[in-house]
Amino acid sequence: MNDNNENSIREDSFNEPSASLNFLEEIIEEDIKNGKNGGRVHTRFPPEPNGYLHIGHAKSICLNFGLAQKYNGLTNLRFDDTNPTKEDEEYVDAIKEDIKWLGFSWDDREYYASDYFDQLYQWAEKLILDGKAYVDDQSAEEISRQRGTITTPGIESPYRNRSVEENLGLFRRMRAGEFPDGYCVLRAKINMSHPNMLMRDPIMYRIIHTAHHRTGDKWCIYPMYDYAHGQSDYIEGITHSICTLEFEIHRPLYDWFLDQIVTTEYRPKQIEFARLNLTYTIMSKRKLLQLVKDGYVKGWDDPRMPTICGLRRRGYTPTSIRNFAEKIGVARRDNVIDVSLLEFSLREDLNKIAQRRLAVLNPLQLIIENFPEDKTEFLPAANNPEDTKAGIRKIPFSRQLWIERDDFMINPPKKYYRLYPGSEVRLKYGYIIKCHRYETDPQTGEVKTIYCTYDPESKTGGATANRKIKGTIHWVSKKHAIQAEIRLYDRLFIKPDPEDVAEGESFINYLNPNSLKIINAWCEPALMEATPAEHYQFERIGYFYLDPDSRPGYPVFNRTVSLKDSWSKMSQNEE
């Protein structure tokens, strides 16, 4: 497949079995080696359908599906829908779409915690029968007060030692709907002075008279997360239940509930990893919701949002996100990933696949004085220099062009090799031109028009085509250009850690006022046929992606990410 010797050697050493494992892979390989759960690997991705998925979830998705793929296992999609007051069908569909778009499949294994309400209820009765659970009639406030604090033990509920019969009767009446919301709860009887507060007789069921998006009015009691999650894992045959670090403290409870019901050799195991944090980004669902609700962004899929749908609309590719997840690795220490690593993964993919086009975002008129008035030439241009199979297109060229305002200076600094009086540049895919003079607006002093001549032999394939010219600039033919709306996005926050708030401020104070700038651009005609099936690179500018707001004859493009720009960096450092 590859007869380059050096390359195949490198490949081989890369695939050596000694390649290092992350801590999750180590645990899994150890479990497989020990024949745990019959050597099976079965993971799950368990979103709560109460919001949209973001890049942090993408890490979890890549981990869960990736690990299963690597060890020939399976991954279930399971909606953790145990709280009907917060959850909605709307989110279910969005979540499914996002996971599919990322490139993962749960086949037919789409489950809901609510599928297990009957089984969960049966097990709850068993716990009551075993004297391990009781109905508590106290108010939420009272229960909370009795729970003690982090440093002081709690005290036992006066209802803690009700008889099994009384508990069973009460629990059945809870289920039957005889009590209003909050009248009583079912609690596990564990230890009110446990140093881990979650073990101080945690609540298993509460009364909520609200219709559920799947079970409708069948239930008016709903299980809490801790009581539902491990049991759901057990029902589904999950082997490795991977979650984020904040659930670490829940693990003893996860294990306690399993202890009460597991009768088999098989048993799922919870393992925690550190969630993703990104510089200049917030990941909290609550805060993202606030951005949407209060109109700081235009919706969950606003291209500035770190949501999967936002990134998709912005022009991110699934490949770039998967590669990113691979690069950041996984561990148990808190981390903040530099957003430039995400952008690197994005450019890396886009560079390979993006269709090149010419567009002028900030136009300046250029006239080629020795080019005939009425002549149009069609110049062949490679669609993608990284991929010859992408083919070519022809770009119209004529006497009057638009060029980028940045590509001309009256008094250029050192190392500026674009256009200035007397200089020569190459027009990309076209001719070498020389600048002779320019015209300014007498009112404003702004440059209006640049006058050049072209070297007719300097076209690709021409006699002087290979002359060394330092600068190449992009252009569009004025009379053939089409207009498009361009949305220039920048980071949403001006502070690397927007959640690190000063006294009396909130993350809202750190919003970047320039996170969106809308302009009009002149584009080569081929962009009239732009489609969301393609990603585009406007040469020398950046990557762009067609927005659904586009109208017939008027495309709208989102700037996905700019090209790396070592010139602006260099000229800034000079200052």
Query: Is the separation of the CB atoms in 535 and 545 below 8 Å?
Result: yes
Name which of 211 and 441 has its Cβ closer to RNA: 211
- Selected range binding RNA among 341-349, 394-402, 446-454, 524-532, rule: CB under 7 A: 341-349
Helix (H, G, I), strand (E, B) or coil at 13: helix
Q: Identify the residue among 335, 398, 449, 512 touching RNA (CB under 7 A).
A: 335
Residue 382: its H or E element:
strand 377-382
- Tell me, yes or no, if 48 is annotated catalytic: yes
Query: Is the separation of the CB atoms in 8 and 2 below 8 Å?
Result: yes
User: x/- site string to RNA, residues 412 to 431, per CB under 7 A?
Assistant: ---xxxx-------x-xxx-
- Tell me, yes or no, if 275 is annotated catalytic: yes
Window 452 to 481, contacts with RNA (CB under 7 A): 458-460, 465, 468-469, 471-473
Give the active site residue among 25, 29, 48, 166: 48
CB of 185 to RNA, least distance (A): 5
Q: Identify the residue among 100, 209, 332, 437 touching RNA (CB under 7 A).
A: 332
One-letter amino acid for residue 382 of the chain: A
Give the active site residue among 172, 275, 405, 428: 275
Q: Identify the residue among 10, 13, 21, 439 touching RNA (CB under 7 A).
A: 21
User: Measured between alpha carbons, how far is 268 from 71 in angstroms, rounded to an integer?
Assistant: 16
Give residue 321's region: left, alpha or beta (phi > 0; psi -120 to 50): alpha
Window 209 to 268, contacts with RNA (CB under 7 A): 222, 224-225, 229, 245-250
Window 476 to 535, contacts with RNA (CB under 7 A): none
Name which of 301 and 343 has its Cβ closer to RNA: 343
59 in contact with RNA (CB under 7 A) = no
149 in contact with RNA (CB under 7 A) = yes
Name which of 330 and 516 has its Cβ closer to RNA: 330
Query: What HEC string does 107-167 produce?
Result: CCCEEEHHHHHHHHHHHHHHHHHCCCEEEECCCHHHHHHHCCCCCCCCCCCCCCCCCHHHH
Give the active site residue among 109, 173, 285, 298: 285
32 in contact with RNA (CB under 7 A) = no
CB of 388 to RNA, least distance (A): 12
Query: Is the separation of the CB atoms in 368 and 433 below 8 Å?
Result: yes
- Tell me, yes or no, if 426 is annotated catalytic: no
Count of residues in contact with RNA, rule CB under 7 A: 92
CA atoms within 13 A on the CB side of 298: 12
Enter the tokens of residue 356: 């090149």
CB of 553 to RNA, least distance (A): 27
Which of 272, 291, 274, 293 lies closest to 282 in space, CA to CA? 291
144 in contact with RNA (CB under 7 A) = yes
182 in contact with RNA (CB under 7 A) = yes
Which of 239, 234, 240 lies closest to 257 in space, CA to CA? 234
Query: Is the separation of the CB atoms in 15 and 57 below 8 Å?
Result: no
Q: Identify the residue among 271, 274, 367, 528 touching RNA (CB under 7 A).
A: 274
Give me the active site residues, please: 48, 275, 285
